[in-house]
């Protein structure tokens, strides 16, 4: 998922990375990752043979078994799968829409995750609900009741736009529910007919059926509405239900001196289903596997245990990493770091510190020697939206790769998120950075960072304004009640 502000791409020459003369293991690993590796062949297999893999789907189960097999083949000491619970089930079954008056034409659309089905096929008048705010629904008055509300949407060009789109969801659903609209057709934020999965609720089920419709067709409906009554026939059928189980894949290279201390490298394996989950986030699942492979290949044994985790349930609300944190609660004091990659093949310019200024110096030290890869910009920001979240809430030192978002955005959750979008050179540079970093953190005589107590995490949440994001995404009550994160 991941929603972050854009960063400026920096240009770096990979040749510079081995500028040091030490030829230490971190640099050897980085050098190896930049050469010919099977990483992109793995990704191609995951995307083209398994494809889109929403958590709970047969494709996701295949991806889990595939990833476990690839990690085993990479030569790690052990591989297991660990089950966890996803609280709410949502799967698209079918979505059909047709304008039937004043003209007859089919409408392209994609049901929004976390929303209910229509009650069979409905036919209703369309009303223009503007931006879908409480005010625009209030203006419609009784006309909105039982109608299909057409809602406009700004074209998404930056991460700020994307973030604004998400922040808009809860108030939109609430306004539509209050107005008793039969359904909402949300204009696609991407031009040229592109559709995407836009989750409307990450903690429950929005009570109004919602689908994203082609931007051009939304504009046509809005023009027709200016001087005629418009009627649409709509059927959104989603499979919804209560909790179900999925699995994370966990591989391990045991530490030679401090095997109970853990440095974790993670990425989510699940994806939405319209595309094949290449940039979000197959490329980084392949990266995690390749980092493990590299360490085995050069027969290096780190001081601490390295854990390679492929989470599922991320797109539904980061439930795989939440489950990991719960299952490993007794071990979290010994988790020195959790490092997450989740912005496709965008160039990594540094790591988000999630407010942990105490990690800045040790991080800079760990990244020294691969500065030639253009990595060294480490923002303090804490961002809600990927698998570091429950580690953050649990006080575990965590880092999220700060990646160039520009190439990632147009295909985000869309039909067009396919293998061809991945930049192989940048993906390999990211694998080089990840390899060097996790090696240094696992092998350094000094521990990377300490675990914070709950009171310290509370302060961090306020200081970084994480609370505002958590409230917008419906996670605040879970934190207060102790359902998210694990106390020290």
| Cβ closest to Zn ion, residue 2 vs residue 43 | 2
Read off the tokens for 359: 């990690």
Phi, psi (deg, nearest 5) at residue 433: -65, -45
| Element at 339 (helix H, strand E) | strand 335-340
DSSP 223-268: HHHHHS--EEEEEEEEEEES-EEEEEEEEEE--SSEEEEEEEEEEE
The nearest distance, CB 344 to Zn ion, in angstroms, is 8
| Cβ closest to Zn ion, residue 3 vs residue 328 | 3
User: Do residues 313 and 55 touch, judged by C-beta distance below 8 A?
Assistant: yes
The nearest distance, CB 71 to Zn ion, in angstroms, is 19
Q: Cα–Cα–Cα angle for 479, 344, 435, nearest 5°?
A: 90
Read off the tokens for 341: 């990659």
CA separation for the pair 273, 459 (Å, rounded): 38
The nearest distance, CB 413 to Zn ion, in angstroms, is 9
The nearest distance, CB 46 to Zn ion, in angstroms, is 14
User: Would you tell me which residues interact with Zn ion (CB under 5 A)?
Assistant: 1-2, 280-281, 342
CA separation for the pair 308, 325 (Å, rounded): 14
Closest CA to 151 of 127, 125, 174, 177: 127
Tokens 């105490």 correspond to 358
CA separation for the pair 323, 278 (Å, rounded): 24
| Cβ closest to Zn ion, residue 419 vs residue 448 | 419
The nearest distance, CB 434 to Zn ion, in angstroms, is 16
| Cβ closest to Zn ion, residue 342 vs residue 426 | 342
Read off the tokens for 281: 């986030």
The nearest distance, CB 52 to Zn ion, in angstroms, is 13
CA separation for the pair 113, 195 (Å, rounded): 13
The nearest distance, CB 269 to Zn ion, in angstroms, is 10
| Cβ closest to Zn ion, residue 281 vs residue 312 | 281
Closest CA to 126 of 235, 233, 207: 233
Q: Cα–Cα–Cα angle for 210, 213, 217, nearest 5°?
A: 140
| Cβ closest to Zn ion, residue 342 vs residue 411 | 342
Tokens 């390679």 correspond to 308
| Cβ closest to Zn ion, residue 281 vs residue 398 | 281
The nearest distance, CB 149 to Zn ion, in angstroms, is 29
């Amino acid at each position: 998922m991941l929603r972050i502000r854009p960063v400026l791409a920096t240009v770096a020459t990979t040749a510079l990375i081995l500028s040091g003369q030490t030829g230490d293991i971190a640099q050897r690993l980085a050098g190896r990752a930049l050469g010919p590796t099977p990483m992109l062949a793995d990704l191609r297999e995951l995307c083209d043979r398994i494809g889109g893999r929403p958590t709970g789907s047969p494709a996701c189960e295949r991806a889990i078994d595939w990833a476990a097999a690839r990690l085993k083949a990479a030569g790690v000491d052990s591989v297991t799968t660990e089950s966890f619970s996803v609280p709410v089930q949502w799967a698209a079954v079918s979505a059909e829409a047709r304008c039937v008056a004043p003209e007859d034409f089919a409408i392209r659309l994609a049901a929004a995750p976390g929303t209910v089905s229509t009650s069979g096929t409905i036919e209703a008048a369309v009303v223009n609900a503007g931006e879908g705010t409480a005010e625009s629904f209030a203006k419609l008055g009784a006309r909105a009741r039982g109608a299909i509300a057409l809602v406009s949407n700004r074209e998404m060009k930056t991460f700020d736009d994307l973030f604004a789109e998400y922040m808009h969801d809860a108030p939109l659903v609430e306004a539509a529910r209050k107005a008793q609209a039969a359904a909402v057709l949300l204009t696609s934020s991407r031009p040229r007919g592109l559709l995407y999965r836009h989750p409307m609720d990450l903690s429950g089920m929005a009570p109004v059926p919602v689908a994203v419709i082609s931007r051009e067709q939304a504009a046509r409906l809005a023009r027709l509405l200016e001087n005629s009554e418009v009627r649409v026939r709509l059927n959104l059928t989603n499979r919804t239900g209560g909790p179900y189980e999925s699995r994370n894949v966990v591989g391990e290279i045991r530490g030679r001196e401090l095997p109970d201390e853990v440095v974790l490298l993670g990425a989510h394996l699940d994806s939405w289903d319209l595309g094949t989950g290449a940039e979000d986030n197959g490329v980084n699942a392949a990266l995690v596997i390749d980092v493990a492979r590299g360490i085995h290949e050069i027969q290096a044994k780190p001081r601490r245990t390295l854990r390679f985790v492929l989470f599922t349930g991320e797109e539904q609300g980061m439930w795989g990493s939440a489950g990991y944190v719960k299952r490993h609660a007794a071990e979290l004091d010994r988790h020195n770091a959790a490092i997450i990659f989740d912005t496709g093949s965008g160039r990594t310019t540094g790591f988000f510190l999630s407010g942990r200024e105490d990690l800045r110096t040790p991080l800079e030290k760990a990244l020294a020697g691969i500065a030639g890869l253009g990595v060294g910009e480490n923002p303090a920001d804490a961002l809600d939206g990927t698998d570091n979240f429950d580690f953050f809430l649990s006080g575990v030192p965590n880092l999220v790769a700060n990646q160039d978002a520009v190439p990632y955005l147009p295909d985000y959750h869309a039909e067009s998120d396919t293998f061809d979008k991945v930049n192989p050179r940048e993906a390999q540079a990211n694998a080089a950075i990840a390899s060097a970093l996790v090696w240094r953190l696992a092998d350094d005589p000094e521990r990377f960072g300490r675990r914070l107590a709950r009171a310290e995490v509370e302060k961090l949440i306020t200081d970084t304004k994480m609370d505002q994001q958590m409230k917008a995404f419906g996670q605040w009550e879970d934190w207060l009640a102790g359902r998210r994160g694990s106390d020290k």
